[in-house]
Amino acid sequence: MSGPVVLITGATRGIGAAAAVELARRGAEVAIVGREPERVAATAQQARAAGGGAAVHEHVADLARVDEVRRLAAEVLDRHPRLDVLANNAGAMFTARHVTPDGFEQTFALNHLAPFLLTSLLRERLAGGRVVTTASDAHGAGELDFDDLPFERRPFRAMRVYGTTKLMNILFTRELAKRAPELCATCFHPGVVRTGFGKNDGLLYRAGLTALGPFLRSPAKGARSLVWLALDPAAASISGAYVVDEKVREPSAAARDDALAEGLWDRTEALLLTAAA
């Protein structure tokens, strides 16, 4: 039997690129998703050169846009008759407030709405497979507000917004494991990694992250849990779990709150219905 088919978003930088290359090296058939065609092509070339021998596919999409997520899902369903793993890795922290064409704050749209919608649209094709979502220990600083879930009225504080979306990732994983028992749904904290994270805008953030660079994890080390969760047989039995360094860890109390997880799911569905109207 050929290796598993893995679709990985945010695959052209940092953790995602390192994971794509390692997955390919291990014989997985990798479908790379990124926003910039040139970077997608470059990462695909590296993955093919890794020597695993399986096919490497390229998909271009801006996942901060709901219509682009829907287009990507349709393209994936058309091109891939089999899908074993969805790695929801795309994410960012924007240091200033930006609004997408759908009217959503960009961090929220990319980090939460995109993986939620993409997973929903690919769920049937993934039956029996795995969904791995890149979360973060920054979730401990997150605060859900169901009266202002998409950050329309609250003051914009970059780390608080980012942490809240990472809390959403863990709650999404928890609820997905309950609502889709045919899937193995997991999420993980990659550590603090040397990537483009936090450098989208803001000189202060860029300078601070550059200074810290020598003390941060390499992308390859940050990608280890993603690869383990995608491929290792031992990871197939831990649905709903939050993982750090290939070990199950307990996230914050808020991230274990079943009422929050259920409420977030229902409100996210309602927001996406509004966006589609």
The answer to whether residues 40 and 12 touch, using CB atoms and an 8 Å cutoff, is yes
Q: Please give the Cα distance from 29 to 205 (Å, whole number).
A: 36
What is 5-207+216-276's CATH number, 3.40.50.720, 3.30.300.280, 3.40.630.30, 2.30.40.10? Answer: 3.40.50.720
Q: What is the pLDDT of residue 2?
A: 77
The residues facing 243 across adjacent strands are 188, 248
pLDDT of residue 203: 53
Q: What's the alpha-carbon Rg for the chain, to the nearest Å?
A: 17
pLDDT at 79 over 60: yes
Q: 180 — phi, psi (to 5°)? A: -130, 70
209 has a pLDDT exceeding 70:
no
- pLDDT for res 212: 46
Q: Could you tell me what percent of the chain has a pLDDT over 90?
A: 87
Q: How far is CA 164 from the centre of its chain?
A: 14
Residue 202 pLDDT class (50, 70, 90 cuts):
low
| CA 13/CA 190 separation, integer angstroms | 14
The whole-model pTM stands at 0.92
Q: What is the mean pLDDT of residues 51-66?
A: 96
Q: Per-residue pLDDT for 269 more than 50?
A: yes
pLDDT over 70 (residue 221): yes
- E-strand spans in 44-128? 56-60, 85-88
Average pLDDT over residues 104-129: 98
Please tell me the predicted confidence (pLDDT) of residue 213.
Answer: 52
pLDDT of residue 215: 54
Residue 239 scores a pLDDT above 60? yes
Q: How many residues are listed for the chain in this entry? A: 277
Q: What is the pLDDT of residue 211?
A: 45
pLDDT at 276: 72
Query: If you average pLDDT over residues 30-42, what whole number do you get?
Result: 98
State the pLDDT at residue 194. 56
Residues 13-25 have pLDDT tens digits of: 999 999 999 999 9
| Residues annotated as catalytic (active site), given as ranges | 162
Percent of the chain exceeding pLDDT 70 equals 91
Domain boundaries, the chain: 5-207+216-276
Angle at 165 between CA 176 and CA 96, to 5 degrees: 155
Rounded CA-CA distance 106/112 in Å is 10
User: Residue 18 has what pLDDT?
Assistant: 97
pLDDT at 200 > cutoff 80: no
Q: Is the pLDDT of residue 198 over 60?
A: no
Q: Is the pLDDT of residue 84 over 70?
A: yes
Distance from C-alpha of 59 to C-alpha of 72, rounded to nearest angstrom: 7
CB-side neighbour CA atoms (13 Å) of 142:
30
* Average pLDDT score over the chain: 92
Query: Each residue of 152-187: pLDDT tens digit?
Result: 999 999 999 999 999 999 999 999 999 999 999 999
